[in-house]
A and B are shown apart, each in its own frame.
Chain A
């Protein structure tokens, strides 16, 4: 790519006396997980392409505290949260987009109690807005035209925040053939990673939750599985590997599909 994309931090913008339209909250998985770092980069490319003036916190970002809170450690959660609120308020942040539904939920619903009031959207909502308004144009006959895609609702975007349609509308706009799993939308089955389960082994049972979910996804005979959450992406990818289907079925974040399909 010829044109270099610059990803400014809030500190840099502030030093120049500027402020961004929107802050991209990357999240820990988006910062450290090898797979999701690519999604983070893709989102930056999309933001740059449509000319939205954005910034990130860079090394000033801390975990929102979601896993600590769900694991019961309210002290640790609030330590993280209050320090993040301090940082965000110091920069006068108004609007945040994030690619992690857990960060999305915490920033949007839980930070107001701690003095952090922002307009928070999930990247799938932003993508829908950009496509609907024509700012981001999708190729005619793009790579997913007519492809069978199945969409996995993350719990923290779906049930936790009732966002079911925006990601689906984006998939429809790619001319893909969206095939629903047996359990979807309000009844979507968890990938198994929420509530800090990502950070421990599961309790004893008959089966791992991500295997149960991927079996349901495979029942739809998809060409790809679409996720909107870094943890779901890990769990579903592991599930596909467990079924030895990683060569034929890819697991994507919605942003990646959009980037591959844009004009």
Chain B
């Protein structure tokens, strides 16, 4: 017996592991460009939300039909992973259907179940392709959905269909080989769905069939390895990052903006409520670049699967403004990747930040200023991404570092300073409304 296939398989597995680990490390570095933000509180609440939103996909069911279809692909992914485990073990040991002897009749039931999901995945992914490319659901075609994001989405769907096809046709070929009593093919019978593919293979001679079965087996598993690597470069990372993202996202009421304690200190000194001390002033107020954001904001950028529910619900975007919350997340991710890439090329962080920045080179003032802070994007996101927090951090930078807020806002600021109201009314008139209480 030749060990060559096993050695080849182990090499492929190792290579896949290597490339995935290298890329995961890259993403880890990108996320850690962000500021520290320890999260140790309300663990059970966080865990519960993760179970509901990531594991249970609660918000996907805001659109029930899409929710069900997405759930089929998701469940298919989870369940078929058990099959992948068997395939990997087969590959390493040189066995065939390693689990079959241990599971008895349950084995064919299990494979039947995998086949059910495989068919479900094929049908659903085909519908998803039609929704994207034929029905042209608008949120898949908005401005930031340029060539690559559109291709990325289609590739993922085609990948999934192809993998499932090879899984099913491999089983069909396998069943015929079993019936012909070919050595090595464990007797587990035909399966629910792949039996309907058998007519395609019945006329092949045994050696061709063995070749096809092996080809499908290799293509299926190498495809999975390739897909696993591809995922780490694509928008599809949400399959992993949805979990930490729903765990670490803020649990505060959505309306609450985090307090800037460094400002509180200065304001208290200015109002004579505190003594000045010698602690250093913060490097920068608000966010100009990814290094001014915190790691949770950066992780959420990598969790984004570009579904565009945020943008489809954004009042500014709906009415034709440039702002798109999805683009904010994509820009944040792309910029973080760019920074790490340049760091790896040996550039210094100072130089990288000098040459370009998130605000200015990726995100424009026009986008940032169009936001009504309505939280529709935050509410819409199935995996608790908060584009609004990034928008507001950039606004803080624009207002406090650049002093570049729109003139009308500067007037409003002025009114607040002099009249303690955003409008220019004398503060002494504030209580004049009381005259109306006893009218009519």
Contacts and interface: CB of A to CB of B under 8 A. Distances in A.
Contact of B322 (A203, A207, A211): A203
A186 B309 CA distance: 13
A78 to B, nearest CB: 4
B373 A155 contact: yes
B409 A199 contact: yes
Contact of A41 (B266, B323, B436): B436
B371 A187 contact: no
Contacts of A56: 431
B428 interface: yes
Nearest to A79: B267
B363 to A, nearest CB: 14
Interface string A146-169: 000000000110011110000000
Contact of B370 (A30, A155, A203, A206): A203
Interface string B238-274: 0000000000000011111101100110111011010
B428 to A, nearest CB: 6
A204 B319 CA distance: 9
B372 A71 contact: no
A108 B264 CA distance: 18
A83 interface: yes
Contacts of A1: 438, 440
Interface string A204-215: 111111011100
A74 B260 contact: yes
Nearest to B318: A212
A231 B63 CA distance: 30
A34 to B, nearest CB: 10
Contacts, number: 226
B421 A28 contact: yes
Contacts of B370: 202-203, 205
Interface residues of B, number: 74
A61 B427 CA distance: 9
B433 A73 contact: no
A31 B420 CA distance: 12
Contact of B396 (A72, A82, A110, A212): A72
A52 interface: no
A62 B260 CA distance: 21
A239 interface: no
Contacts of A198: 422
Contact of B270 (A71, A79, A197): A79
Given A41-B436, A110-B259, A159-B376, A59 B413 contact: no
Interface stretch (B206-214, B299-307, B400-408): B400-408
With most chain A CB atoms within 10 A of its CB, the pick from B271, B392, B416, B431 is B416
B57 interface: no
A32 B257 contact: no
A74 B409 CA distance: 13
A235 B380 CA distance: 24
B400 to A, nearest CB: 6
A192 B315 contact: yes
B372 A194 contact: yes
Interface in A30-75: 30-32, 37-38, 40-41, 44-45, 56, 58-59, 61-63, 65, 67-75
B127 to A, nearest CB: 24
Interface in A185-241: 186-187, 189-190, 192-209, 211-213
B215 to A, nearest CB: 49
A187 B379 contact: yes
Contact of A72 (B316, B400, B420): B400
Contact of A78 (B252, B263, B322, B371): B263
Contacts of A187: 62, 313, 376, 379-380
Contact of B253 (A32, A59, A62, A109): A109
Contacts of A16: none
A242 to B, nearest CB: 14
25 contacts: A41-B433, A41-B439, A45-B437, A59-B431, A62-B421, A63-B420, A70-B373, A72-B399, A73-B400, A74-B260, A76-B413, A80-B416, A105-B255, A109-B256, A110-B256, A114-B259, A159-B375, A159-B379, A187-B313, A197-B372, A201-B408, A203-B366, A204-B322, A207-B320, A209-B372
Interface of A: 1, 4-5, 7, 9, 26, 28, 30-32, 37-38, 40-41, 44-45, 56, 58-59, 61-63, 65, 67-76, 78-80, 82-83, 86, 105, 108-110, 113-114, 155-156, 159-162, 186-187, 189-190, 192-209, 211-213
Given A73-B413, A110-B257, A155-B374, 11 more contacts: A32-B421, A68-B412, A70-B257, A75-B267, A86-B273, A200-B369, A203-B369, A204-B320, A206-B320, A207-B319, A211-B319
